[in-house]
Chain A
Amino acid sequence: MNSRGAAHHDGAKVGIELAHHFETVEQQRYAATLGIWAWLLTELLLFAALFLTALILRVTHPEAVKLATGHLKFWIGAVNTVVLICSSLTMSAAIEFSRMGWQRAMVRAMLATAGLGTLFLLLKGYEYYADYEEHMMPFLSRRPYELHESPASRLFVNLYYVATSLHALHLFTGIGLLLGMTWMAAKAGFLARHQNWIEVYGLYWHFIDLVWILAFPILYVVNRGA
């Protein structure tokens, strides 16, 4: 078994505890990694349906979509993209520290990741508030929709809310899981038993980031300058 970190000052023993139904640690590690990739594949199709619909709408109703995107807060979206990319960096650092057995550094990197994720949600929440102020929530019956002459723009705006809130839900769940795992990972001996949890979780976090990296151009950027 891999025990690269053992020589370091802070280096805890790194490894995986073999579960009863696996023959080898390698098999168990492979299964966990393949499992999370399969899950991400299914998640990708969840979002793909929404993104594809939004893109087709851009082709069939370019003017209406342009009206709608004019009200999106481009700079909040852009800053959030940077925030999430930074969080993927800290998550990668956590994985690297976990491989080396640097438990304390790993926990800090995980907390930083959760912090950046929370910052994203706060910014997103502010963006929704600004949308509300601009009467850009067509589903609120007491608040007349700003672009009511353009029905197709309404479909785009609704897709924007569904896609971004589904992403926010993933991020929210992700932060919850991350904090729960940080709490467990801070205990002694964690890395000797479950080091690959960090790697598996890392893939999920990067995926949340990737979904936003797809959402940002599709919803905010395409056709913006034209």
Chain B
Amino acid sequence: MTAGSIDAGLSGRDPHTPESTLDRPRDYLHAQSTLRSWFLTTDHKRIAILYLTSITLFFIIGAVAAGVVRLALVVPNGAILNNDNYNKAFTLHGVVMVWFFLIPSIPATFGNFLIPLMIGAKDLAFPKLNLTSWYIFMAGALFTMISVVLGGIDTGWTFYAPLSTAFSNTWVLPALIGVTIVGFSSILTGLNFVVTIHTMRAPGMTWFRLPIFVWTHYATSLIFLLATPVITVALILLVAERAFHVGVFDPAYGGDPVLFQHLFWFYSHPAVYIMVLPGMGVISEIVPAFAQKKLFGYKFVAYAAIGLASVTFFVWGHHMFVNGQSDLASLVFSGLSFAVAVPSAVKVYNWTATIHKGSLRLDTPMLYAMGYIGLFVLGGLTGLFLATLAINQHIHATYFVVAHFHYIMVGGTVLAFLGGLHFWWPKFTGRMYNESWGRVSALLIFIGFNVTFFPQFILGYLGMPRRYATYPAEFQLLNVLSSAGATILAAGYIFPMLYLVYSIWWGRRAPGNPWQAKGLEWETTSPPPTLNFITPPKVPNQPYDYPIKVTETGGTPA
């Protein structure tokens, strides 16, 4: 053992010799170090880090609220939280997780960081607008947090009228204004992505050479542009009604409450795909890298992203099967909802086919990706139960629905988020995290998630409605099981926060391409320089250009 490595071992610092840095521009993290250079930056990578920090904060707030909800449901009689406080706890959880974590999560962080890198651009098309989006996001979040600090809101994340406009005695207005403002941040991010993907691609980067991650973000951005304004106007109408009695939804003012549901779900169903599509993009990058195999059916996966983003605009009525809409409308919405399963299944089959006979490495990102695929299938299939009119009557607004969308939102999006975070962490920070801790956490999250949410399918099937602080005593066992699972899940969330942060200072230095992955983002240094590439990239290849394996008999594997 040489003296150098002993020294490095003693100090706990990275023993590897760094690559030559002569004549190399400084990486984006070290280009400047003042606070001003962070808060007034127009570098998409730094803005991504700003987003990553802020949404992690909101994730913690939302997760604590979830913990409180699960704690309260350990007892059936509401002894821990009374009705009012329980309503506030689950509303806080829903509002923060949906509006301030899930919707911006992958697009605003990974999308922001990676889209210019993946298409070989120096930045997004509108760097100042990108920074503005972050400030708008934080302003909206601040408004919403005001209502939390003042005493909370109890409307649920959906803000249904007339509860939100006439009957709720809580701080609804600041939250409504906050969520309206946050919508503009989404719109501007989507706009920036659409324009960037159209106009900033490197020479040779044709549409069908774009990584699927870019395709899914393109589809997501279209939803941002086309759906978000509708929720904006719905929220404006809520504010007008609550503050100025301009009645549009409350029958007492001549309004129509079902109108709110139409406007709300016209956005909020597509918003499900705002949350899901970017995660699908992440999985489509991780799976080929860890199978060292070309993504199966690239074009189908790309078209499936656009397909999902299109069909999702025509299924909003499936949230309204029991509110008195016409049977014909319900029938059409039910049929269209079944259609969503087709592009979703195309993606799942293509990931599975990519894994098939690949050279698998079960590193942390791949563990998350495998977990994602399994949980997404379960979440997707239970969606078909819900889309069936007769079954929907039975399980509408029960824990079955809660379990279903948590399988999609947590089992899907959060796992994809964590998988992507581990996959690109070396690129973001230039450091490797501890692989063993990573695998243990991925496993903990998978187990904790299933223990938490699988019992909720059974609870819902047995008839336990969502959003109640109390429940019949015979449901206690399953509820305690669910709450116990939440503690495992919490441990699984806490570990990455610790070892990832630790790695920023003490992790091994990451090479440019630690996973032997394909894609332009792996061709630059880790972390990349401010303008992303030292030499401007050209793209001569198809995406996912992994080497083709030759079998012992000399043929290529099927």
Contacts and interface: CB of A to CB of B under 8 A. Distances in A.
B167 interface: no
B240 A34 contact: no
Interface string A133-167: 00000110100000000011111001101100010
B51 to A, nearest CB: 19
Given A21-B123, A27-B199, A155-B254, A45 B229 contact: yes
Interface string B503-521: 0000000000000000000
Contacts of B266: 49
A151 B254 contact: yes
A166 B246 CA distance: 14
Given A39-B191, A42-B229, A139 B199 contact: no
A135 to B, nearest CB: 15
A53 B244 contact: no
A50 interface: yes
Contacts of A30: 198-199
A42 B255 contact: no
B484 interface: no
Contact of B245 (A43, A49, A139): A139
Instruction: Please report whether the interface of chain A is mostly helix, strand, loop or mixed according to DSSP.
Output: helix
A20 interface: yes
Name, among A22, A155, A158, the residue most crowded by chain B CB atoms within 10 Å (CB to CB). A158
A162 B236 contact: yes
Given A34-B198, A166-B236, A155 B125 contact: no
Contact of A45 (B199, B226, B247, B251): B226
B187 A162 contact: no
A31 interface: yes
Interface string A106-118: 0000000000000
B228 A42 contact: yes
B534 to A, nearest CB: 16
B259 interface: yes
A61 to B, nearest CB: 10
Name, among A38, A39, A48, the residue most crowded by chain B CB atoms within 10 Å (CB to CB). A38
B141 interface: no
Given A31-B125, A162-B240, A49 B233 contact: yes
Given A21-B123, A49-B263, A166-B236, A38 B191 contact: yes
Contacts, number: 106
Interface in A173-219: none
Interface in B107-134: 121-127
A22 B196 CA distance: 10
A45 B248 contact: no
A47 B236 CA distance: 12
B233 A158 contact: no
A41 interface: yes
A46 interface: yes
B230 A38 contact: no
B451 interface: no
B247 A158 contact: yes
Nearest to A45: B229
B66 interface: no
A35 B253 contact: no
Instruction: Please report whether the interface of chain B is mostly helix, strand, loop or mixed according to DSSP.
Output: helix
Contacts of B187: 39, 42
Interface in A11-60: 20-22, 27, 30-31, 34-35, 38-39, 41-50, 53
A31 B232 contact: no
Contact of A152 (B190, B232, B254): B254
A158 B121 CA distance: 47
Contacts of A155: 247-248, 254-256
Given A31-B199, A46-B233, A139 B191 contact: no
Given A38-B225, A155-B255, A162 B237 contact: yes
B234 interface: yes
A189 to B, nearest CB: 21
A127 to B, nearest CB: 17
Contacts of A27: 199-200
B263 A138 contact: no
B195 interface: yes
Contact of B191 (A22, A35, A50, A138): A35
A39 B254 CA distance: 33
A20 B122 contact: yes
B230 A49 contact: yes
A138 B241 CA distance: 12
A139 B125 contact: no
16 contacts: A20-B123, A31-B195, A34-B199, A35-B191, A38-B191, A41-B225, A45-B227, A45-B230, A46-B233, A50-B233, A139-B246, A139-B253, A152-B254, A154-B254, A158-B254, A162-B246
Interface of A: 20-22, 27, 30-31, 34-35, 38-39, 41-50, 53, 138-139, 141, 151-155, 158-159, 161-162, 166
User: Which 10 residue pairs spanning A and B have beta carbons closest together?
Assistant: A154-B254, A46-B229, A21-B123, A151-B254, A21-B122, A45-B229, A31-B125, A31-B199, A139-B245, A38-B191
